[in-house]
Structure formats: structure tokens, C-alpha cells
A = this chain, B = another copy of it.
Amino acid sequence: MSPIATSNGQDGHSNGLDRKPNVPQKDGTAAEKEQLVLNTIRCLAADLCQEFKGGHPGTVMGAAAIGVALWRHVMRYNPANPSWFGRDRFVLSVGHACLLQYLMLHFSGYEGWTLDEIRKYHSPSTEHMAAGHPEIEYPGIEASTGPLGQGIANAVGMAMAGKQIGARFNKDGYPVVDGKIWAMTGDGCLQEGVGQEACSIAGHLGLDNLVLIYDNNRVTVDGSIDMCFTDDTSAKLRAMGWEVIEVYDGSNDIAGIVAALELAKHTKGKPTLVNIRTIIGIGSQKQNTGSVHGAALGPDDVAHVKKQLGFNTADKFTVGKEVYDFFGECGARGKTIEDEYNGMMADYAKKFPEDFKELQRRQAGKLREGWESSVPSKDKLPQDAVPTRKASGIMVQALVPADETFVSGSADLMESTFVNFKGQVQFQNPASGLGDYTGRQMMWGIREFAMVACGNGMAAYQKGMFIPIMSTFFMFWLYAAPAARMAALQRLRIIGIATHDGLGLGEDGPTHQPVSLANFYRGLPNQNFIRPADAEEVVGAWMLALSEQEASHPSLLSLSRQAVPLLEGSDRTKVAKGAYIIYGGDVEPNLTLVSTGCEVYRAVEVAKAIGGNVRVVSMPSQRHFDLQSKEYRRSVLPTTKSLVVAIEAWGSLSWPRYAHAGCHMHTFGLSAPQDVLYKHFGFGADNLAKVIKQFKEEQKGGLPGVGEFAELLNGHMMDGRHYAGKLDMNGNE
């Protein structure tokens, strides 16, 4: 066993680069068996990538000993029941090394992970578990990873979830949750900002149930990290409040790694980084270079690897019986610990029936019985104008205090986004004196990306057990967008609060005004993007986001900074339809205005100003409208019978699907009060009425066809350039 140190990780730098994988001496010792296991994994990695000439062999070969240490020796899990609640959780932040995890799941006996299945890695099949990056749908995979840095944040979120559940449900002698969260990172995840944000959060919160294993191979796609990354990572994480343990020979020294991980298990009050020096592609002719990172080794090098490791170059996918024997006890051990756990929980159920019942509800991902009844009816809502962000605060207040499923927080805008709730306790390291781990108010700091990536981890800890409510200005949901996308991809229910959602942000100016960001969220598969028109629709938006049917969809609520009136025609029950008639529904319209959010009340003003049979449609969710029957859609938006004009103070990208013309933004905003800006950009009711009337007259009763969408506003300029939309308005140059 090699030294474990806490000195500067860069010591390891010059260390071990000439190291060769050990060829098993046939002396029947444990050491022989271990080497055979490591070398078997390395040869399998070489064969699996060579089979379909692609994939990432290098890290699998280099980090084999880490995998063995975790699954064979250190982690608590039951392969027969991958979703056993009491398990440790593992997140492979370095997702491209998924073959290592697949092989460990195979050897430790997880159902489905046969060698045949793993051999479909990079195969032409579309029906396989061995995806190019780990996917949460499959046994033993806790989170889909690959986009670097986010896996660290997912693990931090799981550690927060574990601490929160433990603080809530553990009793003296009844550790309902005392498992660890293990995450494996490479150099890349530690360069990405989101990884560093997450490390800073974990250090601040003192999450001692979190162990981050750094596969420190110092090589990325482009080659040695000396070209771009010379941080002293150990010192940096210490400065973020972490314990750091280092292992110098991570390529072969399983015992050394096990000792380090066991030591990490016992760190108190801090998360632990285990910085393990490894050699990428060890055994390959190209070991320790970028060329073993993301490509098959090629037949010659595969042969070289096998020779090096004492394998027959002619054989492929060789796994000796000794290797299976070596992992043989994983299943029995897993069964034993789960049985013990279940015995304890049976006792717990008797002793603490109320807590047990609540725990079961949480584990089942059910919301509190009858939560709908605590939602205020329309007549109980503020009857005067309020910002929709404030109306959302009423829902937070109605839902969050009574149901511990919810954790609610902000990236340093708690009071602007109205995610505070009565009796809140901050989720904090108890040592801070500011709160404790029972807290459900999350102080994320100015870290939007990590907030949402950690939220994904909480949501993935046990599906439905937590619904993280996360908030910031809509503009900063662009910082968080890569994590929001991963929530949609993994079908995790998180609820995003996006306030100050346009020109209404006002004086802070164009850097903070999202004039076109909705396009990203509207186009994202699985994503709900809901922009309610008033307090009543805010209630409907929350009820939709929390409905059974949306249990597998993240929702983002786009909310106003400024006050908007409670609209006579608004109806919470119709938000789920995506769009509905909010004004002038009693007759066939000769003009329909469709609008969203804080622009809807302006559309109603415009309709009144124009007069005649003008209908106004509120469209809080394009996605949900698209899901309605043709009959319903036609009944709301009669595009084949009369003109439909969209009004939304954002870009027009998504509107030609629904309207013949639109009043939209084609430039960035400005710094001025919101009412001034709406007027300046042409969204004053008078001007809207004028341009829409003019457009209608110009159509002479006809309906513009596809390809003729008319842009009615902003001098028809697009980023300062003449915008052809104008030409469609009056049919000539």
C-alpha cells in the first residue's frame, strides 16, 4: 500500500508516469487476484472500445482500481435492489468513463448489466443500456452525466438531500439515512465553473456525507493539462472548506485507495476530496496521452495492452472465473446490509409510526393529501394589481410550509423572487449557527448553474421525495440553462421561478432583460414553460406544475417584476389547456389577440381600444396548447377564419405557428422604468391598437398565408437592420 498524504497534490505530478501495470505473479495471493481483476477490466475496456471502434478507454483503464475499491470494498449497496433507499449513491461526473461503471455493475451483480449488454456499447443498436454516457433510466445509475462539472453538483445535491432526510427522520439508534454520496471527477469537471460552484457550496455546508474522488490523470482530450490547468486543486478545495486526502499510486494500489476512502468516510464536518494520481490508458502504448482519451486504441495497441498485462492477444472479452469469484460476495453482503436495514426500519415503524408514515409518503413521491384545499380561491387572491412573482409567493406560502417535500431557495434573490415561507429554517451546517440540516430554505449564493444542478441531484436522490423550488431573475436562468436541460432530459420535477421576465425589469437595463430567452425553454423537450397572466393564472401554473401528469416534467414559471391586474376572464383551470379565451369569448371574433404573461392585460386594453368583436387569448403554455385537440385549438385561435395577432414583448421566433402577425421585440432592451420601456418599444396600448388596426385594414378581409408573418413593431428593424417583416404588412416595398 502506497503512502496516503495530505500534502500538495502537485507532488504527485512527476510521480508514477513511468509506472507499469503489474502483471500478476501466479502465486495465488490476494495481490495476484487483484492484479488479475484490474488487468481484466483494462483488457475489457480495450476490447469494448475496439469492437465498434469508438468510446473512451483511457479513463476506464486508468481508474480501474478506483472502481474496484468502491464496488468491491467500500460502497453500501444491494445489487439485487438497486433502488434500496438506504444505499450509498455514486455519481460518475466524468461520464465518458461510463464503461468502468457498467463493468462494476456487471461484476457486482446488478440485473441487466450482462457482458452481452455492455458489449452493445457504441453498437448500432438503439435498444441498449450501455449508452455513451450513463443514463439515469438504468439500474445502478443515479444520474445521467456527461456534460462536465454537473455530476459534482448532482452529488452535492444528493448529499444535501441525504443530510436533510437524515436530520428529519433519523432517531437515536435508527439511522434511516447515514449513507455516503460518492462522486468521481476528472480534470475537466474541476475546470468547469459549475464544478467549482458546487464545491464551494459543499464546503460551505460542511457536507461530510460527500466524498469526491479525483481521478487525477492530468490528461484531457488535447493532451497534458499542463497546457491549460495548473491550479493546485488540493489547496483550492481546502480553501473551500474541504478535507483532502491524497493517494499517489491510484493505478494499482487498491488497498491504498480503500484505506483513503475509508478514512474519508470518517471525516466530520467537511466534505472530502480524495485526490488519486492515476495514469490514463495505463498499459497502452499511448498511456498518459490524450490519444487514449476518446478513441479506440486500434488493434495493435489492444494486442500490446494484452501482452503487457499477461493476456492472450488472440482472446477477446476474457473474464476468468477468479474475477467473478473476487466480486462474488458483493451480492450476499448487499443482501445482509439491506436485511439489517429493513429490520431496523420495521422496528422504526413500530416505535415512530407517524414519522414512518410520513417517510413512506415522501419515498412514494406523493404530495400531502388534499394540498389543493390550501390553495386560495380567486376571490381570496389580491383583487388589486400585484406582480405575478408576488402572487407566486402566495402559492409558496400555501404549499411549502405544510409539505416537507418542498425545499425552496434562491441564488441570492430570496426576497425578489418571493420564495420565502413562514417558519423557514435555513439549510445550513449546524456549526454555522445560522440554521441546520432540517432547514428547507436553500441559500444557494450567486451560483445559478450549481443551484439547478444541485437541485437535479436532490430530485434524483429518490424521485418525487424532494421538489426543489429554485429561483432567480429569468435572465439568469440562462446561466442555469445547461442544468435545466439535464432536468428535462432526466425527467426530474424541479420548479424554477424566473422573475423580472422582460422589459418589466426596467432600470437594470438590457444586460438583465430577457427579450428572447423563452425560445430556449419553449423548444426544450419535456420542459414546461409557463407564463401566467395574473395571480389567478399563477395559481393555475403552480397546480399544473404539481399535477400528477407533470410528475416527470420540470417547470419554469416566468413571472413579472411589475404589478398586473387580476383579470376578469382569467381561469386557473384552463392554464393546463395551454391557451384559452380570456376576453370577448361570447361571439365569433373578427380579430383575435393572443398574448402571454404580463402583456395579456395590455392585450385586453388594446381589444377594448379597437372595439368590435375582438377576442383576447391568454397562452400561458405553448406546449400544452399544442397538446390539445385540433377542435379545441381552432375554437380558441380561429386562424383560418379571422386574423390572429400575437402580442408579446419578446422575440417572435415561436409565434408564426399561432398567428398571422405579431407585436414583438427585435432588439435588446434599454435601461429605463418599465412603463417607459413598453411605450418606447411600441407596446403602449394606443400604439398597439393603431398598428393592429392598420394591419387589419391592409388585409382587406383576407388572411395572410404561411410565410407572410408580419412584424408590426419596432420600426420593423432587426438588430438595427431593416426587417423584411415590414414588407408583408402592406404587400409592397
Sort chain A's interface into a size bin: 35 or more
Question: Do residues A204 and B222 form an inter-chain contact, with CB atoms below 8 A?
Answer: no
Q: Which residue, of A508, A640, A707, has the highest number of chain B Cβ atoms within 10 A?
A: A707
Question: Do residues B414 and A222 form an inter-chain contact, with CB atoms below 8 A?
Answer: yes
The verdict on A489 contacting chain B, using a C-beta distance below 8 Å, is: yes
Say how far A45's CB is from chain B's closest CB, in angstroms: 15
Which stretch, A128-136, A314-322, A396-404, A683-691, touches the partner chain B? A128-136
The verdict on A228 contacting chain B, using a C-beta distance below 8 Å, is: yes
Question: Do residues B706 and A231 form an inter-chain contact, with CB atoms below 8 A?
Answer: no
The verdict on A19 contacting chain B, using a C-beta distance below 8 Å, is: no
Which stretch, A169-177, A188-196, A245-253, A359-367, touches the partner chain B? A188-196
The verdict on A283 contacting chain B, using a C-beta distance below 8 Å, is: no
Say how far A481's CB is from chain B's closest CB, in angstroms: 6
The verdict on A510 contacting chain B, using a C-beta distance below 8 Å, is: yes
A482-B478, A519-B523, A627-B722 as given contacts; A512 in contact with B188, CB under 8 Å:
no
Write out the residue numbers on chain B whose beta carbons fall within 8 Å of the beta carbon of A586.
Answer: none
The verdict on A509 contacting chain B, using a C-beta distance below 8 Å, is: yes
The verdict on A197 contacting chain B, using a C-beta distance below 8 Å, is: yes
Mark A429-445 against chain B: 1 for CB-CB distance below 8 A, else 0: 00010100000000111
The verdict on A384 contacting chain B, using a C-beta distance below 8 Å, is: no
The verdict on A216 contacting chain B, using a C-beta distance below 8 Å, is: no
The verdict on A639 contacting chain B, using a C-beta distance below 8 Å, is: yes
Write out the residue numbers on chain B whose beta carbons fall within 8 Å of the beta carbon of A410.
Answer: 222
* Contacting residue for A126 out of B222, B676, B704, CB 8 A: B676
The verdict on A239 contacting chain B, using a C-beta distance below 8 Å, is: yes
Question: Do residues A651 and B523 form an inter-chain contact, with CB atoms below 8 A?
Answer: yes
Write out the residue numbers on chain B whose beta carbons fall within 8 Å of the beta carbon of A605.
Answer: none
The verdict on A332 contacting chain B, using a C-beta distance below 8 Å, is: no
A188-214 with Cβ < 8 A to chain B: 188-189, 191-197, 200-201, 203-204
The verdict on A377 contacting chain B, using a C-beta distance below 8 Å, is: no
Q: State A508–B145 Cα separation when bound (angstroms).
A: 11
Which stretch, A34-42, A100-108, A654-662, touches the partner chain B? A654-662
Q: State A482–B472 Cα separation when bound (angstroms).
A: 15
Write out the residue numbers on chain B whose beta carbons fall within 8 Å of the beta carbon of A639.
Answer: 705-708
A221-B413, A672-B125, A703-B705 as given contacts; A231 in contact with B227, CB under 8 Å:
no
Question: Do residues A229 and B445 form an inter-chain contact, with CB atoms below 8 A?
Answer: yes
A99-147 with Cβ < 8 A to chain B: 122-126, 128, 131-133, 135, 144-147
Which stretch, A256-264, A334-342, A724-732, touches the partner chain B? A724-732
Which stretch, A67-75, A540-548, A629-637, touches the partner chain B? A629-637
Write out the residue numbers on chain B whose beta carbons fall within 8 Å of the beta carbon of A489.
Answer: 510-511, 668
Write out the residue numbers on chain B whose beta carbons fall within 8 Å of the beta carbon of A640.
Answer: 705-708
Question: Do residues A719 and B526 form an inter-chain contact, with CB atoms below 8 A?
Answer: yes
The verdict on A415 contacting chain B, using a C-beta distance below 8 Å, is: yes
The verdict on A426 contacting chain B, using a C-beta distance below 8 Å, is: yes
The verdict on A677 contacting chain B, using a C-beta distance below 8 Å, is: yes
The verdict on A355 contacting chain B, using a C-beta distance below 8 Å, is: no
The verdict on A644 contacting chain B, using a C-beta distance below 8 Å, is: yes
Question: Do residues A525 and B515 form an inter-chain contact, with CB atoms below 8 A?
Answer: yes
* Contacting residue for A507 out of B132, B522, B524, B637, CB 8 A: B132
Write out the residue numbers on chain B whose beta carbons fall within 8 Å of the beta carbon of A195.
Answer: 193
Question: Do residues A412 and B192 form an inter-chain contact, with CB atoms below 8 A?
Answer: no
Q: Which residue of B lies closest to A626 (CB)?
A: B724
Question: Do residues B656 and A445 form an inter-chain contact, with CB atoms below 8 A?
Answer: no
**Additional pairs, 12, CB under 8 Å, beyond known A126-B670, A133-B511, A233-B239:** A54-B507, A188-B446, A203-B231, A221-B416, A222-B412, A236-B239, A236-B240, A526-B719, A639-B705, A640-B705, A657-B709, A658-B707
Q: Give 10 nearest A-B pairs by CB, closest first.
A: A193-B193, A639-B707, A228-B445, A146-B511, A235-B239, A131-B671, A656-B657, A519-B523, A236-B239, A630-B727
Residues of A within 8 A of B (CB): 52, 54-55, 95-96, 122-126, 128, 131-133, 135, 144-149, 187-189, 191-197, 200-201, 203-204, 220-222, 225-233, 235-236, 238-241, 410, 412-416, 426, 428, 432, 434, 443-447, 449-450, 475-476, 478-479, 481-482, 485-486, 488-489, 506-512, 515-517, 519-520, 522-526, 553, 623, 626-631, 633-634, 637, 639-640, 644, 651, 653-654, 656-660, 665-668, 670-673, 676-677, 680, 703-709, 718-725, 727-728, 731-733
- 26 A-B contact pairs sorted by A residue (CB < 8 Å): A131-B671, A145-B511, A146-B512, A200-B231, A203-B230, A204-B229, A227-B434, A233-B239, A486-B511, A516-B525, A519-B653, A519-B654, A525-B665, A623-B718, A626-B718, A627-B724, A628-B724, A629-B724, A630-B724, A630-B728, A630-B731, A639-B705, A640-B706, A653-B654, A658-B706, A706-B706
